[in-house]
Structure 1
Amino acid sequence: MKYNKLSLIIAVAGLIAFSCTRPGERLEIYTTTDLHGMLLPFDNTEGESTDRSLANLASLVKAGGNANMILLDNGDILQGDPLAYYYNFVDTTETHVIADILNYLGYDAATVGNHDIEAGHNVYDRVRREYNFPMLAANAVDITTGKPYFEPYTVIRKKGLKVVVFGLITPSVPRWLPESLYHGIRFENMISTARRWMPEMLAEEPDLVIGLFHSGMGDERDRGDDENSTLAVAMNVPGFDVIFCGHDHRQEIKEVINDAGKKVLVLDGGSRAEALMNVTVEIERGADGSITPDLSGRIIPMNTIPESTAFLKRYSAASARVREYTSEVIGRSSARATTRDAFFGPSAFVDLIHLMQLELTGARVSLAAPLSFDQSIDRGELRIRDMYRLYRFENFLYTVNMTGGEIDRHLEHAAGQWFETMEKSSDYMLRYRYNEDGRPVMVNGTARLRNPSYNFESAMGIRYTVDVSKPQGARVNITSLSDGTPFSYSETYTVAVNSYRANGGGGHFPAAGITGRELEKRLVSATERDLRHYMTEWIRERGTISPEPLSEWSIIPAEWAAGAEKRERQLLFGSN
C-alpha cells in the first residue's frame, strides 16, 4: 500500500478538526496491533530515537477527545523492545508502564496476543489487573471452569452507539510455547468460538459488532484452527461489521462478503507502531430515532501524526530508566558479527548462539537460527541492548534427546524452507516470494524471502553438507560428530534447542516426528528464565568474546553456492 505523506498529514489534520467541530455525527475507532513494546519514541535495542510510538496517538486523543473515539489494542504488546522486558521482569513493583500508558490514553479494550502469553502468567495476569479496561480472548478457555480465561467480549457505549468488541487469539499458541506459560488454559478454534458467542452478542442489540483478532488475515478456506484465520471467521460467521486483525505484521484492508451476504470490513495493521488502523463510523439518525452506521477504513502511517509533548513529558523518566538499564556494559566483543552471513553458511553471529547453547547445557548438538533478518553486534563494548540484537525473543533453552535420524529430518525441514533446488549455477539458491514473472518480490529495492529467517536452522556439533542441487528431503548428509566420531542415525544424542522450536514452531520438530506428549518424554532439562538472560550472564563471566564461524557444515556444490552468495547478498541487502 503506497502513501503520499503530505496528503496523509492533511487528511489526519482534517480528521482531528472534523471530530472537534462536528461532535455527534461520527465516531472514530483507532486500533494498534503488534506494538512489541514500541510505546515510547525510542528504540532501546538500537539505542536511537524513532518517530513512531503512542506519543503520536496521544495527540489524536487530545485533539478528538475520548468521548468521540474508541481505542483498541490487538495484542503482542508485552514483548519486543527492552521497555517491555524491563517492566515485565526487572521492575515488577511499580505499575507496569504499558498498563499506565494505555490507561492514560483511555483505551477501551485489548486482545491478548501469543507474545503476551510468552511473557508468562505472572506478567499478563499482573497487567490484566492493572488495566482499566478488559483483556479479551474468547477462545482462550480456562480448563477448570470451561469459561474464557479472559473476557470474551465487552460492550462500549459512545456517541449514542452501542458497540460490542469480541476478542480472539491465534489458536496456535501451544505449537510455539511451553505449557508452563499458559498453564490451565486451552486455545480453541476461532470459527467455532465466534459462532458460539455471536447469538449472545447479538442479543445485546448492538449497533456495531467489532472483531479484535490477534490472528492474521489468512485465507477464507482456513478451518479456524490455523495460525491466521481472520478471513475465515469474517466470511463464515455472520454478525461482524468490522474486524481488526494482526499477528502477521502486514498492512492491508479488505472488504469481504459473509455467508449472509453482508459486507465485512477487515483491517490488518502492521507492527512496531508503523501504522494506526482507523475506522470512521458516520452516524445517520433516522426520524424514528434509529441509527445506521456507515463505515470507512484507512491505515494511517503513525509518523504522519504529530507527537504529544505532554505524553513525552509524562513518560520521560520511564524512558530514561530503561535507557540506563540497556546501556549497562556487560563485556566486549573482539569482532563484529552479522546475520547477513548466516544465509550462506556458517556465521559468527549464529555460531555464537550455538557455542553458548552447548556450553550452557553440555549437549552434544546445538540447533539455532538467525532470529533477526538483518542484525549485527559490533566490535567493542557489549551492552544489555546488544543482547536483544543477538536474541530477540524470550525463548527458554531446552535440552532434548533426539536420534540421529530425527536431527537429519529436522535439518532437512530447515533446508526446505531455506533453499531452492538449483538445476544450474545461475539459479536462485535462497527461496523468495516471486512475482508472476518469476522474479523475486522487491520492496524498497531488496528482495523478500518466502519464509522467515528464524526458521533457517543450522547445527553445531556435527559435520554435514547441504546439497542444493538435490530435491527437498534429500539434501542433508551428516558424516560425523565434530570430534570425528561416526554419526549414527539410530543413536540418541542430547540436543540444545530453544523452546519455540521444540514445541513445534516452524514445523521442524513435527517434521522430525516429535510432537505433543512425545516432547515431554524427550525433555532432559529446561531453563527457569529466558535464554537471553543466561547468554548475558555467560558474557559477563568471560568479559571478552570472540565471535567467529565455528560450525562444520557447508552448502554444496561449493562453486554454485559461492556464485549465488555473491549475487543474492546484493539482492537481499542492496549495496549497504
Structure 2
Amino acid sequence: MKRIGFFYGLLFCLVLSVAAQEKVVKLKIVETSDVHGNYYPYNFITRHEWKGSLARIYSFVQKEREQYKENLILLDNGDILQGQPTAYYYNYIDTVSPHLCSEMMNYMKYDAGNMGNHDVETGRAVFDRWIATCDFPVLGANIIDTSTGKPHLAPYKVLERDGVKIVVLGMITPAIPAWLSENLWKGLRFDDMEETARKWMKIIHEKENPDVVIGLFHAGQEAFKMSGKYNENASLNVAKNVPGFDIVLMGHDHARECKKVMNVAGDSVLIIDPASNGIVLSNIDVTLKLKDGKVQSKDIKGELTETETYGISEDFMKYFAPQYEAVQKFVSKKIGTFTESISTRPAFFGPSAFIDLIHTLQLDITGADISFAAPLSFDAEIKKGDVFVSDMFNLYKYENMLYVMTLSGKEIKDFLEMSYYMWTNRMKSPEDHLLWFKEKPREGAEDRASFWNFSFNFDSASGIIYTVDVTKPQGEKITITSMADGSPFRMDKIYKVALNSYRGNGGGELLTKGSGIPQEKLKDRIIFSTDKDLRFYLMNYIEKKGKMDPKALNQWKFVPEKWTVPAARRDYEYLFRSVQ
C-alpha cells in the first residue's frame, strides 16, 4: 500500500509539473482605422445619427474586456485626425483645450496608434500636439527625422501579456510628398515600407525575440508606383515578402478585407482591413500554447465585426458630452444663404453648380486665369436657404491649401486629357457607359466602389471653353476653343492656375503623368499658397458675400451629345440607384 501511495503521489506531482509547464494564452486584437473624426455616433455634417464612431467601438471593447481584461490589445491605424468637424474643431479652432482625439483614445485605453496621411495633413503643430498628449505611442518606423536619420516616432511597441511578447511595428504609406505641401511635414521624410520592414524585422527578432509580430500599416493592398517612385499601398507586398509577420493590419484604402496569405517563407499571415468611419472593426483571436515559457503553436483567426450591433457606450457619451456640445455649437453657426440647392451628383456628367461654385471662389480668391477642381465627395448636397459651417464640410471635404501655379496651355490641355481619361469610358457605340465603371466593386469601399479611378481626381476646368470627345483616346479628347471671356487660348502661353495643394503637390499624378512636369519641379511652379486650409477661405468668402446664387457655368461639355446625353441619363440611374 505504501508503494501504491508513493506511486500515485509521484504521478500527481508529475501531472502538476507538466501542467505547470504547459499553458494556453488567449489574446484579443482589435484594430480601428480611418476613423476620420467619427468620434460620436452623430454626423455633424449631415446633422443625422451615424452608425460608426468611437462611441460604438468602445461599447464593443467594454464588453470584450470583461472576458479578456488586459489581454485585449486595442490599436488604431491612422487617419483619425481628419474628416468630421469634431477633428477640425480641436485641430484648428480650439487649440487650447486638450485635443478631443487624444482624450478619447486615452479614455478607451489604446495600446498603440499609427500615423496616417490625413494625420500628417493636419500639419506638425497639430499632429505633434496630439501625439504629445496620447498616453500610448503613435508609431512610424518609416517617418524619418532628416536631421538625425532616425525615426521621428517610435518604430514599434512591445507588449507583454501572460508571458507572451507581442511586437507591433507601425508604418505609413510613403507617398506623402506626392500629396502634401512640405511645410506640413518639414524636417521629415517617408521611407519605403518594404525596405523599412526588412530593417526593423531583423532588429525586432534579434533584440526582442517576440512570440507574435503585428504589422500596423496605414496602406492598402493594391500596390502601385506613385509619381514613379513611391510604392503606394504596399501592405500586402510586405506581408508576403518580409517573413516574420503573424498579422498585418491594413488601412488607408477604405476597403474591407480579411484573408490569409502565404509569405515567401511558407508561413501564413492574416491580413485585415476595417475600411473606414468606425462602421466595422478588425476582430482577431490569437490562441497560443506555451510549454516551459516557449510558444509551441499559434492559432490566429480574424473577422470584421459590425459595430452598430453593440450599441453606444453611455459612459463614453456622458464623459465627452461637453465637447459634443462645443462642436455642435461650432457647426450650427450660420454663414450665409444659397438661392439654390447644389449637389455633387450632376458633377460626374457635366458642369454643375456645386463644382462651379468652387471654381468661382478659387478664381475670385486668387485672381488666377483658370481653375481646376474635382468632386471630393461622392454624393454631397447643400440645400437652398440658410447655410451653416457644417455645410462647408460637404462643400469641401479635405483640409487642402489653395495654390496658384504656372502652367503652359499645352500642360493645361494634357492635364485635362488625363483627368477625363480616368473619368470617362471610351464610347464605341451609343449604348456604352459614359463613365468608366468597375466591373465588380470591392465591398466596403463606399463611394470608391463604382468608378475605375478615384472620383476626387476627376478635375474639370473653369476659365476656358472646351469640349471632351468621349469617342477619342487620351491625347485627342480635349478641344479648347477659347478663354471664358472669348479671348484666344494659346498652347505656348503661361497661365496662372488655381488648384488645391493635393493636386499641386502631385496628387492623382495629373500634373506629373498628365502634364509631364517632374515631381521635383512642381514646387518651382507654385507662385501663391494660402496659409490656412481652403475650407477656411471658402467659409470667409461666403460669409462676406452673405447671399450666393450658385449656377452651372456651362463652360465645357461631353460630345458627341447625341450619344453622351442619353448615356448620362442611364449612368446617373446606374450610379445612384442604391442611394436614392
TM-score by length of 2: 0.92
- Identical aligned pairs, as a percentage? 43
**Superposition map of 1:262-281 within 5 A:** 262-281=267-286
Give the alignment's Cα RMSD to 1 decimal: 2.0
Q: Which residue in 2 is equivalent to 1:310?
A: 315
Q: Which residue in 1 is equivalent to 2:475?
A: 473
State the Cα distance separating 1:541 from its structure 2 match.
Answer: 0.5
CA distance in 2, matches of 1:189, 1:280: 30
Q: Which residue in 1 is equivalent to 2:363?
A: 358
* 8 Å CA contact 2:356, 2:551 repeated in 1: yes
Alignment-mate amino acid for residue 450 of structure 1: W
CA distance in 1, matches of 2:294, 2:218: 35
Do residues 408 (structure 1) and 410 (structure 2) align? no
State the Cα distance separating 1:516 from its structure 2 match.
Answer: 2.8
Is the partner of 1:549 in helix, strand or coil? coil
**Superposition map of 1:333-412 within 5 A:** 333-412=338-417
Distance change (3 Å), C-alpha of 1:469 and 1:64: closer
1:528 to 526, 531, 545: 531
* 8 Å CA contact 1:220, 1:232 repeated in 2: no
CA distance in 2, matches of 1:189, 1:25: 35
State the Cα distance separating 1:453 from its structure 2 match.
Answer: 1.4
CA distance in 1, matches of 2:71, 2:298: 14
Do residues 561 (structure 1) and 564 (structure 2) align? yes
CA distance in 2, matches of 1:143, 1:273: 34
Q: Could you list the per-position Cα deviations for residues 477-502 of structure 1 after superposition, in whole angstroms to 9, with x for gaps in the alignment?
A: 00110111111000001000000001
CA distance in 1, matches of 2:224, 2:461: 37
CA distance in 2, matches of 1:563, 1:234: 46
1:463 to 457, 462, 465: 465
Q: Which residue in 1 is equivalent to 2:14?
A: none
Do residues 137 (structure 1) and 143 (structure 2) align? no
Q: Which residue in 1 is equivalent to 2:215?
A: 211
Alignment-mate amino acid for residue 209 of structure 1: V
State the Cα distance separating 1:160 from its structure 2 match.
Answer: 2.4
CA distance in 1, matches of 2:442, 2:56: 31
**Superposition map of 1:84-483 within 5 A:** 84-203=87-206, 204-219=208-223, 225-286=230-291, 290=295, 292-435=297-440, 448-483=450-485
Do residues 572 (structure 1) and 575 (structure 2) align? yes
Do residues 50 (structure 1) and 54 (structure 2) align? no
CA distance in 2, matches of 1:24, 1:333: 64
Q: Which residue in 2 is equivalent to 1:76?
A: 79
If you compute each CA radius of gyration, which structure gives the higher value, 1 or 2? 2
CA distance in 2, matches of 1:444, 1:96: 29
Is the partner of 2:150 in helix, strand or coil? coil
State the Cα distance separating 1:320 from its structure 2 match.
Answer: 1.3
Q: Could you list the per-position Cα deviations for residues 245-275 of structure 1 after superposition, in whole angstroms to 9, with x for gaps in the alignment?
A: 0000010112111111111111011001111
Is the partner of 1:240 in helix, strand or coil? coil
CA distance in 2, matches of 1:542, 1:184: 39
CA distance in 2, matches of 1:50, 1:495: 38
Q: Which residue in 2 is equivalent to 1:540?
A: 543
Poorly superposed stretches of 4+, deviation over 6 Å: 220-224, 440-447
Q: Which residue in 1 is equivalent to 2:500?
A: 498
| Unaligned stretches of 5+ residues in structure 2 | 1-22
CA distance in 2, matches of 1:444, 1:426: 27
* 8 Å CA contact 1:189, 1:224 repeated in 2: no
Q: Could you list the per-position Cα deviations for residues 299-322 of structure 1 after superposition, in whole angstroms to 9, with x for gaps in the alignment?
A: 101112222111111111111110
Q: Which residue in 1 is equivalent to 2:12?
A: none
Q: Which residue in 2 is equivalent to 1:30?
A: 30
* 8 Å CA contact 2:274, 2:282 repeated in 1: yes
Distance change (3 Å), C-alpha of 1:80 and 1:129: same
* 8 Å CA contact 2:401, 2:531 repeated in 1: yes
Distance change (3 Å), C-alpha of 1:276 and 1:352: same
Total equivalences in the alignment: 550
The 10-residue stretch of structure 1 (61-70 or 135-144) with the greater mean CA deviation from structure 2: 61-70
CA distance in 2, matches of 1:261, 1:561: 51
CA distance in 2, matches of 1:81, 1:295: 34
Is the partner of 2:346 in helix, strand or coil? helix
Q: Which residue in 2 is equivalent to 1:484?
A: 486
Is the partner of 2:231 in helix, strand or coil? coil
State the Cα distance separating 1:289 from its structure 2 match.
Answer: 5.5
Distance change (3 Å), C-alpha of 1:141 and 1:489: same
State the Cα distance separating 1:217 from its structure 2 match.
Answer: 1.2
CA distance in 2, matches of 1:365, 1:289: 66
State the Cα distance separating 1:288 from its structure 2 match.
Answer: 6.2
Alignment-mate amino acid for residue 159 of structure 2: I
Alignment-mate amino acid for residue 246 of structure 2: D
Q: Could you list the per-position Cα deviations for residues 509-550 of structure 1 after superposition, in whole angstroms to 9, with x for gaps in the alignment?
A: 002022333222211100000000000000000101011101
* 8 Å CA contact 2:255, 2:445 repeated in 1: no
* 8 Å CA contact 1:220, 1:235 repeated in 2: no
The 10-residue stretch of structure 1 (514-523 or 189-198) with the greater mean CA deviation from structure 2: 514-523
Q: Could you list the per-position Cα deviations for residues 271-301 of structure 1 after superposition, in whole angstroms to 9, with x for gaps in the alignment?
A: 0111110111113232666453321111101
Q: Which residue in 2 is equivalent to 1:41?
A: 41
Alignment-mate amino acid for residue 550 of structure 1: L
The 10-residue stretch of structure 1 (79-88 or 547-556) with the greater mean CA deviation from structure 2: 547-556
Do residues 67 (structure 1) and 70 (structure 2) align? yes
CA distance in 2, matches of 1:405, 1:220: 27
CA distance in 2, matches of 1:166, 1:340: 41
Q: Which residue in 1 is equivalent to 2:5?
A: none
Alignment-mate amino acid for residue 138 of structure 2: M
